[in-house]
Structures are given as C-alpha cells and as structure tokens.
Amino acid sequence: MECFTPFRLLYLLLVLSIAMSASMAEDLGTYIIHMDKSTMPMTFSSHHDWYLSMLSSMSSSDGVHPTHLYTYNHVLDGFSAVLSREHLDQLEKMPGFLAIHADTFGRFHTTRSPTFLGLDKNAAGSWPEGKFGEDVIIGIIDTGIWPESESFKDKGMGPVPDRWRGACESGVEFNSSYCNRKLIGARSFSKGLKQQGLIISTSDDYDSPRDFFGHGTHTASTAAGSPVRDANYFGYAKGTAIGIAPKARLAAYKVLFTNDSDISAASDTLAGMDQAIADGVDLMSLSLGFEETTFEQNPIAVGAFAAMEKGIFVSCSAGNSGPEGYTMLNGAPWITTIGAGTIDRDYAADVTFGGGILTIRGRSVYPENVLVSNVSLYFGHGNRSKELCEDFALDPKDVAGKIVFCYFNQSGGVSQVREVDRAGAKGAIISSDSEFFNFPSFFFIPLVVVTPKDGDLVKDYIIKSENPVVDVKFLITVLGSKPAPQVAFFSSRGPNNRAPMILKPDVLAPGVNILAAWAPKVALTRVGDNRLLTDYTLLSGTSMSSPHAVGVAALLKSAHPDWSSAAIRSALMTTAYLLDNTIGSIIDMDTGVAATPLDFGAGHINPNMAMDPGLIYDIEVQDYINFLCGLNYTSKQIKIISRRSKFTCDQANLDLNYPSFIVLLNNNTNTTSYTFKRVLTNVVDSPSVYRASVKQPSGMKVNVQPSMVFFAGKYSKAEFNMTVEINLGYARPQSEYIGNFGYLTWWEVNGTHVVKSPIVSAFAL
Ligand SMILES: *[C@@H]1O[C@H](CO)[C@@H](O)[C@H](O)[C@H]1NC(C)=O
Ligand SMILES: *[C@@H]1O[C@H](CO)[C@@H](O)[C@H](O)[C@H]1NC(C)=O
Ligand SMILES: *[C@@H]1O[C@H](CO)[C@@H](O)[C@H](O)[C@H]1NC(C)=O
Ligand SMILES: *[C@@H]1O[C@H](CO)[C@@H](O)[C@H](O)[C@H]1NC(C)=O
Ligand SMILES: *[C@@H]1O[C@H](CO)[C@@H](O)[C@H](O)[C@H]1NC(C)=O
Ligand SMILES: *[C@@H]1O[C@H](CO)[C@@H](O)[C@H](O)[C@H]1NC(C)=O
Ligand SMILES: *[C@@H]1O[C@H](CO)[C@@H](O)[C@H](O)[C@H]1NC(C)=O
Ligand SMILES: *[C@@H]1O[C@H](CO)[C@@H](O)[C@H](O)[C@H]1NC(C)=O
Ligand SMILES: *[C@@H]1O[C@H](CO)[C@@H](O)[C@H](O)[C@H]1NC(C)=O
Ligand SMILES: CC(=O)N[C@H]1CO[C@H](CO)[C@@H](O)[C@@H]1O
C-alpha cells in the first residue's frame, strides 16, 4: 500500500516472497500462464474451456490435481492456477503455451485539496466544464470500500449509465443492496492470496468487498466522493469533504487484504483489473506497487496495457521510496504515474510559556482538546540521553504530570514519544524539523513539534526560569500555509529504472495529510489506552495522489470523451505548474531547495488549465509496441504484454511521442547529442499557430525545428524535431549535469494556450 505511515516505512514495498505461510504441498505453487490464443483448437467454444480441458488432462504421480483460479479475458490471454512441478513440465509442452510466471505479491504503498487545486463550483473551470465528472466511471483497485460512508451517498445523482455491466457482490458484512447510484459496483478478489495460506477472518479483514483497513475508502472518496459537510479529523481540517470528480461513479475492486500485513497477489490484481475492464470502467486508479521487473512480469503494467488499448485511463502511485533517485514504481509509459506533493494546510498547536513570556506555534494533530494550562515543563539539560528522550532515559519521578521538552534524534523518531509516554509525563514538546512528525499516528500523547529555531528559544526559557510552566492550545488548522506545494520527502523519484528514456513520475498531485473517508472500525491513532475511531482521517502517500489525478482525469474525460489516455496525460503534463504559492520554484521538502523534473515530472497538476491544453502529444497503441521493440524485448515478452500473436519490430523506436524530454548521459562519451521527434495535435476548434521558446538547461544547447507550427483546424497535426547537444568533457564533471533542467514551451500566437514540457538530464544506471 502506498500510503505512507512511518511504521510501515521499513516494510514498504518489500516483496513478500518469503513471509507467506506455507499451507501448500511442498512443490505446489500459484502461476500465471500466458497462452497464444490464436492456436486454440476449433473444438473449444471459449478459451476458458480450452484452459480447463488442459488442466484436467494433466496427471501427477501423487494424484494431486491442478486447481484453476482465474481465466483472464482482457488483461492477458491465459489463466492462473495452482500447479505442481510435474504439472509445469506437462503444461510447457502443450500447444499454444507461451510463458509462465510464478505469482508475486505487492503492497499498498479532502476537505481542502479541491480548493487548493483551484476547483470551484461557482467559477468557470474544470468542475462545470467537466460536469463534475458526471457519467464517468472510476474503478478503484484497492482494499475495498466502506459503503455506509457519507462520501458514497448518491443524493442528486441520475440513474446508473446503461452501459455499466458491473455488479455489487454480497459477502461477509456486505450486501448487494449496499451499492447505489454513486457506488455502482463492488467486487472482491482473493483466490490468489488464499492459495498462499491467507485466512480471512473478520478480526483481520472481510471476505467481501467491505474495506477493513480504510485505504480503499480513502482513495475512492478522494477521487469521487460526494460532498460531506463538516467532515474533520477530531476537529482538524474541518470543512466540506468532496472528491475531485464529485459526480463520477465509483466501482470498488478489492485486491488488497489486511492480515499480518497489507498484501496483494498478482493473480488477484490481474483478476480485479480484468473485471474492471469487462464491467466498463472509464478510468482506474491503483495505489499499490509490485517489485519492478520487466513489464511483462508486472501485473499492473500488463493490466494497464489492455486498459489503455480500450481507452481506459490508468493512474498509479509512484511509490513512497524517496527521496533517493531511481526509486520509481509503476513507470510503464502507458501508465500515468503520480508523485506526492504537500498542500497549503497545516495543523498546529499554540504553546505559551511562563504565562505569556513567549508564545510559539508548533505542529500538532493531537486529536483531543485537552486542557494544558500552567503545567510544569521538564528538560533533562546537561544529560544528552535525557535531552533526546532516549529509551529509559526519563525518570518517572522527574516527569510525572509534566510536559517534557526534547530534541529530536534522527533515528529516534516515534521512540522518543513512546519514552515520554512510558515515563508517565503529561505530554511533550519536541524540537525537530523532520517531516516525519507530520503523521497522526505519532500523536498518541499531547505532542507539539517546534522548529529547531523555536526549540532554542524554549530551551533558553527553561534554563533561565525557576519554575518553567506552559499552556497549550490544540486543534488549530492553518490554511494558506507557505510554501506549497512541496515535493513530499517520501515521494519516489526518477529516473525510471526499467525505461529511463521516459521521464517519470509524470506529475505531482496532493499526497500529504489528505483528509478523506475512512473505515470507522479501524483505529489509526490511540490516545492513552483508547483507540480512536473516525469516519474521516488524514493520510499521506503517493497512494493519496493517484486518486487526485484520476479525479482530474475523470473531469477531462467527461468534457472530452474522445481523448485517448495519452491525450489526457499530455493535458495534465503540459499545463502543470512549476511555481509554489510564494511564486518560487517548487521545493523538495527533503532538501529545502528547488526540486527538479526527476522529482515532480512536468510539475503539479492544474485541473482548470488541463481542461483546455490547446495542443496534445498523442500516442497510439502501435507506438508502445514499437517502444517495447526498441527496448529489445523478445517477441514472447511483447506478445504477453500486447496479446498480439503477430507483429513485427521493423519500426522499433524508443522516442515515444511523450510530452517530456530526458537526456541520458553516460561516462563513455564527451559529447552527447539527442534528437527528439514529436508530433503535436491541435485540440481546439479553430486553426492556430504556435511559436517555440526554450529555456535551455545549463550546459545544454537546444534547437527546435521548425520553431513555428501551423494547424489548419481541430485535430490537425504538426511535427517538429528538438536537438539537445551537450559537451561534457571540458566543462565540468558529468555528475554536475544530473537534474539540470529547462523547458520547451509552445506559445500560441495571438492566443492564450501555453504548452510546456520539461527537458532534464540524468544518468542511466
Ligand atoms: C440483503 O439486503 C436485502 C434488502 O435489504 C435483504 O432482503 C437480504 O436479506 C439481504 N441479504 C443478506 C445476505 O443479508
Ligand atoms: C501556576 O501554578 C503554580 C503552582 O504550581 C501556582 O503557584 C501559580 O499561581 C499558578 N499560576 C497560574 C497563573 O495559575
Ligand atoms: C544520563 O541519564 C541516564 C538516565 O537517567 C543515566 O543512565 C546516565 O548515567 C546519565 N548520564 C550522565 C552523564 O549523567
Ligand atoms: C538516537 O536514537 C537511537 C535509537 O533510539 C540511539 O541508538 C542513538 O544512540 C541515538 N542517537 C543519539 C545521538 O543520541
Ligand atoms: C538493443 O540492442 C541493440 C543491438 O544490440 C543495442 O544497440 C541497443 O543499445 C539495445 N537497446 C537497449 C535499450 O538496450
Ligand atoms: C561516472 O563517472 C563518475 C566519476 O567520474 C562516477 O562517480 C559515476 O559513478 C559514473 N557514473 C556511471 C553511471 O557510471
Ligand atoms: C526531423 O528530422 C528528420 C531527420 O532526422 C527529418 O527527416 C525530418 O524531416 C525532420 N522533421 C522536421 C519537422 O523538421
Ligand atoms: C573527455 O574530455 C577530457 C578533457 O578534454 C579528456 O581528458 C577525456 O579523455 C575525454 N573523455 C572521453 C571519453 O573522450
Ligand atoms: C497576430 O495578430 C497580429 C496583430 O493583429 C497580426 O498582424 C498577425 O498576423 C497575427 N498572427 C497570426 C499568426 O494570426
Ligand atoms: C499470511 C496469513 O494468512 N497470516 C495470518 C492471517 O490470519 C490468520 C488467523 O487470523 C493466521 O492464522 C494467519 O497466520
């Protein structure tokens, strides 16, 4: 799950090949089998029957029969099954057999965000133009759904579109009558996980579409939740919670289950995506990731290719493995990959010292309105271990009933809060600039985090004061905080290992402390011994940014039903913004300095501008196949991804018509010259003319030919070439070129459209 909570950090996105309980016989395993459907004997009326007949023909010396799990109709030609080694040998000899992959496992990595994105129902913009996403169907592939949430009420919504073929499955604590005109479908896929020994009991999860963990409810309501007044997290972030596309329909596909951890099997994820395609979704969002492999072994990449071919837009989280480079997941070029940014909302507490001598505003999401008035302060100065609130450093005799002040210890984090709690203090003030302290789960005692600069003032006050005392006022929500957005420190960064010639992530969307609906049975926070339950909660992660992007894409799709997925992505990218709310460059929360396209792609999504991009960079299915040829994928790999039995690679081409440019450096040459060929399509109703302008990345020479392009009318096209030259040797070490960036901008002549693309350099690993 790509929802970032500090406790999960260590485990995040590890692939669970070892930790699964071994309930299967020694040599049985779950496999995904790819077949060449064109070789199916005429005697079978469906490929499903063919696969069943193959399985029933298999023998085994120990009498064990293969078990069929799923037949896939859209995402791939083939099926999944539980097989022994003997079965495998027989299968590989059968006609039409293409390839087999062992099942793998993946993890999952708003009241204010619509306003922050500039969405306003009274003004002109994406909401009215995109009809609030009306009659667009979004599939959320996640942990399921809490159908009773206020965010899924269908007040004022018209009948479910006729073309919908989905279903609302009954199951444990879930009845098909729970769906309505907002939540139009709910299904659950767990055969693959069950084969791995997962036992779904109601104390761990529900064997039904009902969401146990809350993650799927959060992502679904972020994308398309109905408006809910007075939603809040224990008093913080009070306001109307509303999805980005509030009139879009939602269908939940549960493929992630909570047991010991939150996991998903490739076989189940493929089944969920397959069904979503069959049901007729228009868009899909996946906030989960599998280990990066070549694309044909990655279930999300395989499923998304089939979706893209059918015109279904697929948005995925980029992963939470930042701030280091090369940490991107879900980077296949037919997926729209979303990084996480902050929004302009903070949660605070006011701390007053000595009855008014000093007042400081710190960060807090402590969920109770406790009275902290004239309470003694404790600081273990002179003893480093006490200053840092290290494990067992505090003596209950010293701190009972007091507020403890400590300095943040980089590797200590939440253990410092636990130590204060253990010693029986009333609360803590921690001096830290670490963004780790943004997470609600840390605030299980009255806690305020102050900046190191303010921390020095606090220390000064305590040392000089005979009887240091403090008052704290919690539950303050600060709107319009600056600078915002920033690139979240955890957001995975480019380049993309598997296809570094395509810049990823594509764009940034809100992903820090996002308020959205929650499953009210699961406590994310405890206070003392009380587990606190809530209908709305704050979560951070690229898990939260993908549903924002899919919501915006739903608005675009509603306004432009004929646009391809690449066209929608192009509109999101070329209109993205690069300046924060202080009119400075978007900064990286980790370093505090300007971020680069390797961190934020084309910039932060800007829904109102994306509605009307002027020009788009479109990509067709064949272009992606040519791209795979360019990557030197074997014909077998390409067959698996594209489900085509016949194709040629005579048009191999790595230079996709992508709306961003990445220049890959290597140590073997002193001069590098790249030529990018692109085609622009006019998407406004009238003829237009555009002029190119380039902000050159430092050390690079960029030339655009031609520098003016003319369009005769809607959908007319124009080609251009862009050459980037770098002379590495004499200037500086090559490492200095990493992340150098600039922009190619097409300005409409006598018009208002601006079509911008980043140009960035990086080392290919
Ligand atoms: C589902 O809901 C319907 C209508 O409320 C009810 O008649 C039916 O008994 C329920 N089914 C289950 C399995 O609870
Ligand atoms: C604060 O508490 C102290 C005793 O700890 C007391 O003497 C003092 O009057 C209190 N101050 C206020 C403003 O209540
Ligand atoms: C600091 O405090 C800890 C915990 O009380 C104690 O074990 C340690 O000896 C102290 N260190 C010094 C230098 O006094
Ligand atoms: C920080 O905390 C860790 C873990 O609690 C501890 O091992 C380390 O010694 C602490 N560092 C400092 C500088 O005190
Ligand atoms: C593909 O193979 C060709 C020929 O061996 C080689 O020149 C090219 O660099 C390879 N491309 C990639 C992306 O590895
Ligand atoms: C390129 O060379 C530099 C030293 O000149 C080295 O630090 C770096 O790792 C090399 N990069 C690659 C990708 O080989
Ligand atoms: C782009 O360059 C290619 C040669 O690399 C050339 O054939 C083509 O005409 C150029 N296109 C434009 C629009 O200049
Ligand atoms: C690059 O240029 C430098 C300085 O002119 C030279 O020392 C080095 O050998 C060159 N490297 C290559 C790979 O040509
Ligand atoms: C833009 O407007 C100017 C002034 O009206 C006119 O001279 C020029 O021809 C126009 N250019 C285009 C491309 O329409
Ligand atoms: C992976 C797995 O299935 N773990 C546990 C799930 O829950 C059951 C009982 O609640 C345990 O027996 C499993 O070990």
Catalytic residue among 126, 149, 543, 761: 543
Average pLDDT value for residue range 56-61:
87
In the annotation, is 142 catalytic? Answer: yes
pLDDT band at 326 (very low <50, low <70, confident <90, very high): very high
Tell me: pLDDT of 543 over 50. Answer: yes
Instruction: Tell me whether strands 372-378 and 403-407 are parallel, antiparallel or unpaired.
Output: parallel
Averaged pLDDT score across all residues of the chain: 89
pLDDT tens column, 718-728: 999 999 998 76
Residue closest via CA to ligand 5's atom 12 equals 631
Q: Is 561 in the pocket of ligand 2 (CB under 6 A)?
A: no
Predicted local confidence at residue 38, as pLDDT: 92
pLDDT at residue 222 greater than cutoff 50: yes
β-strand partners of 258: 262
Of these ranges, 226-240, 414-428, 746-760, the one predicted with the greatest mean pLDDT is: 746-760
Domains of the chain: 26-102 (3.30.70.80), 106-343+485-587 (3.40.50.200), 345-478 (3.50.30.30), 615-619+656-763 (2.60.40.2310)
Active-site option among 36, 77, 142, 454: 142
Six-digit token string for 588: 């990286």
For residue 359, the cross-strand partners are 352
Task: Give me 119's structure tokens.
Answer: 């969405």
* pLDDT score for 261: 63
Q: How far is the CA of 415 from the centre of ligand 4 (A)?
A: 10
Mutate to test the pocket of ligand 4, among 388, 416, 419 (most ligand atoms within 8 A of CB): 388
- Between the CA of 637 and the centroid of ligand 5 the distance, in Å, is 16
Pairing of strands 137-142, 105-107: unpaired
Tell the residue nearest (CA) to atom 12 of ligand 4: 409
Ligand 6: nearest atom to the Cα of 665: 13
Cα distances (angstroms) measured from residue 573 to each of 25, 120, 508, 551, 758? 50, 21, 9, 15, 9
Q: What pLDDT shows up at residue 64?
A: 87
Strand partners, 711: 688
- Mapped onto helix, strand or coil, the DSSP state of residue 611 is coil
How many Å apart are CA 341 and CA 749, to the nearest integer? 33
How much is the pLDDT for 11? 28
pLDDT greater than 90 at residue 376: yes
For residue 502, report the distance from its CA to the centre of ligand 9, in Å. 36
Pick 317 or 133 by higher pLDDT. Answer: 317
Round to whole Å and give the CA distance between 495 and 739: 10
d(CA 343, CA 389): 31
Q: Determine which residue's CA is closest to atom 1 belonging to ligand 8.
A: 729
Taking the centre of ligand 2 as the mean of its atom positions, its distance from the CA of residue 458, in whole angstroms, is: 19
Highest mean pLDDT among 292-306, 396-410, 426-440, 670-684: 292-306
First vs last C-alpha separation in the chain: 26
Q: How far is the CA of 734 from the centre of ligand 8 (A)?
A: 11
Lowest mean pLDDT among 533-537, 556-560, 578-582, 648-652: 533-537
- Please tell me if the CB atom of residue 738 comes closer than 6 angstroms to any atom of ligand 6: no
543 is annotated as an active-site residue:
yes
Axis-axis angle for helices 621-630, 635-642 (nearest 10) = 150
How wide is the angle at C-alpha 84 spanned by C-alphas 80 and 88, nearest 5°?
A: 70
The per-residue pLDDT for range 124-165, each reduced to its tens digit, is 567 777 778 888 999 999 999 999 999 999 999 999 999 999
Spatial CA neighbour of 495 closest among 302, 760, 757: 760
d(CA 605, CA 577): 7
Give the type of residue at 633.
Y
Q: How far is CA 613 from the centre of its chain?
A: 24
The model's confidence at residue 732, banded by pLDDT at 50, 70 and 90, is: low
Amino acid in the structure at residue 496: N
Q: Could you report the per-residue pLDDT of 733-744, keeping only the tens digit for each?
A: 666 677 889 999
Nearby residues of 717 by Cβ (< 8 Å), 6 or more positions away: 679, 680, 681, 682, 711
Count Cβ atoms within 10 A of the Cβ of residue 68 and give its class: 0-12 exposed, 13-18 middle, 19 or more buried: middle
The pocket around ligand 1, CB under 6 angstroms, is made up of 170, 175, 177
Looking at the predicted structure, is the pLDDT value of residue 360 above 90? yes
Q: Which atom of ligand 8 lies at the shortest distance from residue 669's CA? A: 13
Considering only 187-196, 413-422, 649-658, which range has the smallest mean pLDDT?
413-422
Among positive and negative, which fits the CA dihedral 193, 199, 203, 208? Answer: positive
Cα separation, 431 vs 441, whole angstroms? 18
Strand, coil or helix: 464:
helix
> In this structure, what are the phi and psi dihedrals at residue 610, rounded to the nearest 5 degrees?
-65, -25
Using the predicted structure, report yes or no on whether residue 227 has a pLDDT greater than 70. Answer: yes
* 383 CA → ligand 4 middle, Å: 13
Q: In a 3-state reduction of DSSP, which class is residue 754?
A: strand
Q: Give the E-state strand segments of 162-281 in sequence order.
A: 183-188, 228-233, 236-241, 249-254, 257-258, 262-265
Rounded average pLDDT over 566-579: 98
User: Taking the model in full, what pTM does it have?
Assistant: 0.90
Contact status, residue 151 vs residue 169, Cβ threshold 8 Å: no
Phi, psi of 440, rounded to the nearest 5 degrees? -50, -35
* CB of 373 closer than 6 angstroms to any ligand 2 atom: no
Structure-derived torsion over alpha carbons of residues 542, 546, 549, 553, reported in degrees to the nearest 10: 170
- Among 20, 172, 198, 256, which is best to mutate for testing ligand 10, by the most ligand atoms less than 8 A from CB? 198
Q: What is residue 387's predicted lDDT score, i.e. its pLDDT? A: 92
Interval 278-307 mean pLDDT: 96
Copy the structure tokens of residue 14: 């590890």
Strand partners, 141: 253, 286
Provide the pLDDT confidence category of residue 16 given band limits of 50, 70 and 90.
very low
pLDDT tier at 117, thresholds 50, 70, 90: low
Probe ligand 6: pick from 667, 670, 672, 761, max atoms within 8 Å of CB? Answer: 667
Q: Which residues line ligand 3 (CB under 6 A)?
A: 383, 385-386, 393, 395
112 Cβ contact partners less than 8 Å away, ≥ 6 residues apart: 237, 239, 343, 344, 345, 479, 515
pLDDT at 528: 72
The top-scoring range by mean pLDDT among 59-73, 403-417, 740-754 is 740-754
Atom of ligand 4 nearest to the CA of 390: 5
- Neighbouring-strand partners of residue 539: 514
Task: Indicate which ligand has the atom closest to the C-alpha of 202.
Answer: 10
Alpha helices in 229-355 (DSSP H): 266-279, 299-309
Burial status of residue 41 (CB atoms within 10 A of its CB: 0-12, 13-18, 19 or more): exposed
Task: Give the helix/strand (H/E) hosting 710.
Answer: strand 708-711
What are residue 237's phi and psi, to 5 degrees? Answer: 60, 35
Using CB atoms within 10 Å of the CB of residue 221, give its burial: 0 to 12 exposed, 13 to 18 middle, 19+ buried.
buried
Count other C-beta atoms under 10 Å from residue 23's C-beta: 12
Per-residue pLDDT tens digits for 482-541: 999 999 988 999 999 999 999 999 999 999 989 899 988 877 777 777 778 889 988 888
CB-CB contact of 723 with 660 (8 Å) = no
pLDDT of residue 319 exceeding 80, the answer is: yes
Give the pLDDT confidence score for residue 260 in this predicted structure: 57
Label residue 120 by pLDDT band (50, 70, 90): low
Please, what sign has the CA dihedral across residues 52, 58, 63, 67? Answer: negative
Best of 378, 379, 383, 420 to mutate for ligand 3, by most ligand atoms within 8 A of CB?
383
Let me know if 268 is a catalytic residue. Answer: no
Tokens read off for 52? 């069943």
Percent of the chain scoring above 90 in pLDDT: 71
**Interval between CA 179 and ligand 1 midpoint (Å):** 12
Place of tokens 């596309």: 245
Is residue 546's pLDDT more than 60?
yes
Residue 708 in contact with ligand 7 by CB distance below 6 A: no
| 87 CB-side CA count, 13 A | 23
Tell me how far the alpha carbon of residue 622 lies from the centroid of ligand 3, in angstroms. 69
* 438: nearest Cα among 354, 522, 534, 541: 541
State mean pLDDT over 14-27: 40
